[in-house]
Structure 1
Amino acid sequence: MMMQTNSECINPKHSLLNVMNKFIAATNNMDETVMVPSLLRDVPLEEEEEGPKLDNIICPSKQGDMYQHYLLLKSIKRDMEWGLLRREMNGGAGFLEMAAQSGEENSAEDGSDLEQQFHYHLRGIFGVLSKLTVLANRCTNRYKREIGGGGCMA
């Protein structure tokens, strides 16, 4: 049995599983709150004064409405929970397939160190999931404001 030193202990607050769980929880909360998704059509993503401009991060080529963001978040969550096989069986290509194919091509071409590739993509997935979690919370809060719901979450 191996003993772990304090430096080897993992802080769950900074783990990939924690970031994934936060995104899934925020998306589940959004899905439970948004009873009539069509009410989000033509509702622009309202920028909050603090934080990044998520509209440009999520859909840089077009300004989407809240409904598009709602569908995107649900699709990404479904891909995370069910993996690539489900989309392949349905004949659709999602974000994860494109990323996996791109990663295979890059690793075959440059023969880079796998540990460096892993850390590069891990930093990327942390950043993306954090932004998607903020977007899910904003979508939930915006829906509550649109229907005149009570207090908004932070």
Structure 2
Amino acid sequence: MMQINGDPASNKHSLLNVMHRFIAAANNMNETIMVPSLLRDVPLEERAANDDNNNNDDDDDEPLCANKQRDMYEHYLLLKSIKNDMEWGLLKEMSSGASFLEMAVKQEEQQKPLHPEDNADLEHQFHYHLRGLFGVLSKLTLQADHLTNRYKREIGGGNFMR
């Protein structure tokens, strides 16, 4: 197998690089947002606040916020929780002493016994999940950056005054 670069983290397409970018964005978000409670009741999307003020009925009927989080505070907590899970593992599920990898293998074995002819399927599954992980981590990084920048704008503009 040919190795392109000695340090996989320096490759912009490496999983480690994508993970580091998300963790850095989440750390920046956490360091910037000094008073997270100020995020309560602030709509996640700026468009949601503008549409509520304008009451446009000619807009399409798609939901303003496709995420389950209703405000910036809930989204902040979600991003922070995902970062902690990435750094420390799924501690809640690991109370039995088994590692995350051991639990995943055991769950997979319970679903379907592994046969030698399944190796090609394992490669397909790996690439499928790797692409998904890249996509999710990239979106989470953008969301953490957006939340940080939005917090800076809101605090700078004094929009949190009640």
- Which one has the bigger helix percentage? 1
Structure 1 or 2, whichever has the larger Rg, is 2
> 1:19-40 CA distances to partner (integer Å, 9 max, x unpaired)?
0000000000000000000011
Unpaired segments of 5 or more residues in structure 1? 150-154
TM-score, normalised with respect to structure 2: 0.66
> 1:36-77 CA distances to partner (integer Å, 9 max, x unpaired)?
0001111112258xxxx9942xx2xx4521101100001000
Instruction: Tell me the equivalent position of 2:21.
Output: 22
Cα offset, 1:108, TM superposition: 1.8
Maintained 8 Å contact 1:54/1:135: no
Report the AA paired with residue 20 of structure 1. M
Instruction: Tell me the equivalent position of 1:71.
Output: 77
RMSD, matched Cα: 3.3
Q: How many residue pairs get matched? A: 128
Give the 5 Å matches for 1:2-151.
4=2, 8-10=3-5, 12-46=11-45, 55-56=65-66, 59=67, 62=68, 64-84=70-90, 86-88=91-93, 100=104, 104=108, 108=112, 113-148=121-156
Maintained 8 Å contact 1:73/1:136: yes
Maintained 8 Å contact 2:45/2:64: no
Taking the aligned partners of 2:18 and 2:69, their CA distance within structure 1 comes to 26
Taking the aligned partners of 1:12 and 1:47, their CA distance within structure 2 comes to 34
Percent of aligned pairs with the same amino acid: 69
Following TM superposition, the consecutive aligned residue runs of length 4 or more in structure 1 with deviations greater than 4 angstroms are 109-112
TM-score, normalised with respect to structure 1: 0.69
